[in-house]
Amino acid sequence: ELKVEQNPLFLSMQEGKNYTIYCNYSTTSDRLYWYRQDPGKSLESLFVLLSNGAVKQEGRLMASLDTKARLSTLHITAAVHDLSATYFCAVRKDKIIFGKGTRLHILP
Amino acid sequence: GAVVSQHPSRVICKSGTSVKIECRSLDFQATTMFWYRQFPKQSLMLMATSNEGSKATYEQGVEKDKFLINHASLTLSTLTVTSAHPEDSSFYICSARTLSSYEQYFGPGTRLTVT
């Protein structure tokens, strides 16, 4: 059974700081996703990572994938308040299974 | 491209009644659609996988007689919550998978409140 674990589940940080969210998954899969969710809204797709060593960056967010370790990271650089949201990693093995999410609160 | 819509976006119903939620792929065909449920401050939990023209596959612990899924066409799947109770109040999100890229796209969600 595919399991996806994220940590931390809650993160409060100051603007301007860097931090990393970790995502571990239990079995091989063919792709890994990172999504953002704002309160009351559906999912916004951030990254799709397909292969070992994949790294993608968009603004202050950078995602990477290590398929051998079954680990993905979402790195936030110089956080700003607008990045406050819940971030989910999700793994696909025929169907997409989500981690529990990381609630990110960035203090001005 | 690859837009998924849901209707309604928000619904309030009384306990004991049934409510239907529609999920449509607007600009692509989807042989497979997925239904997720999200309780407040929790993750998305997959409820069922819906295949066009065949019976849905439900995840463990999901009552198939309570959550009726119909996928009658390549662009429409419906979820009917029968005899709804307050504990069914949740955010229901559908997702459709494209035939070509095998990629899944998520709808905007339907917030169900059962009073």
Residues B53-73 pLDDT 10s: 888 999 999 999 999 999 989
Over residues B67-82, the mean pLDDT reads 94
Minimal C-alpha gap between A87 and chain B (Å): 10
Over residues B10-15, the mean pLDDT reads 97
Residues of chain B above pLDDT 90, percent:
79
Distance CA B50, CA B58 (A): 9
Helices (H), chain A: none
Mean pLDDT of chain B: 93
Burial class (CB in 10 A: 0-12, 13-18, 19+), A76: buried
Tell me, what's the pLDDT at A102?
97
Determine contact: B95 vs chain A, CB below 8 A: yes
| Interface contact flag, B44 A88, Cβ < 8 Å | yes
pLDDT in tens, B82-98: 999 999 999 999 999 88
Burial class (CB in 10 A: 0-12, 13-18, 19+), A60: middle
Tell me, what's the pLDDT at B98?
82
Nearest CA in chain A to B108: A42
Within 8 A of B61 by CB-CB distance, chain A residues are none
Q: How many CB atoms lie within 10 A of CB B8?
A: 13
Over residues A80-90, the mean pLDDT reads 97
b/e string for B46-55 if b means 16 or more Cβ within 10 A? bbbbbebeee
Nearest CA in chain A to B93: A42
Report, in angstroms and rounded to the nearest whole number, the Rg of chain B calculated over CA atoms: 13
Residue B1 clears pLDDT 80, i.e. is over it: no
Distance CA A9, CA A104 (A): 8
Task: Check if the beta carbon of residue A34 is closer than 8 Å to that of residue A46.
Answer: yes
CA A23 → CA A73, A82, B55, distances in Å?
6, 22, 33
Q: Which residues of A touch B (CB under 8 A)?
A: 40-43, 45, 48, 88, 92, 95-101, 103
A26-30, A104-108, B10-14 — most confident range? B10-14
Q: How many CB pairs under 8 A join A and B?
A: 34
Task: Check if the beta carbon of residue B81 is closer than 8 Å to that of residue B66.
Answer: yes
Tell me, what's the pLDDT at B104?
87
Under DSSP, is residue A78 helix (H, G, I), strand (E, B) or coil?
coil
Residue B101 clears pLDDT 90, i.e. is over it: no
pLDDT in tens, A13-69: 999 999 999 999 998 888 999 999 999 999 999 999 988 889 999 999 999 999 999
Q: Which residues contact B8 (CB under 8 A, 6 or more apart)?
A: B21, B110
Tell me, what's the pLDDT at A82?
95
